[in-house]
């Protein structure tokens, strides 16, 4: 139950996002998606 509550209500905005939507909450504006997404350039 503890895990379910943690996912539903993270302790802080810096809390690691769930693997389901990690791209929606990057650590910082300068965060780089990775070389895999560099194909856009």
6: which 2 tokens?
A: 């943690």
| pLDDT score of 38 | 53
As a whole number of angstroms, the distance between CA 13 and CA 6 comes to: 12
38: which 2 tokens?
A: 């560099």
pLDDT per position as a tens digit, 1-41: 555 555 566 555 665 555 555 555 555 566 566 666 555 55
At residue 41, the 3 state secondary structure works out as coil
Does pTM top 0.85 for this prediction? Answer: no
| pLDDT score of 15 | 55
| pLDDT score of 30 | 64
10: exposed, middle or buried (Cβ count in 10 Å: 0-12, 13-18, 19+)? middle
């Amino acid at each position: 139950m503890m895990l379910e509550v943690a996912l539903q209500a993270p302790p802080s905005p810096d809390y690691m996002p769930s693997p389901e939507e990690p791209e929606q909450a990057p650590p910082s504006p300068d965060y780089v998606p990775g070389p895999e997404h560099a194909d856009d350039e």
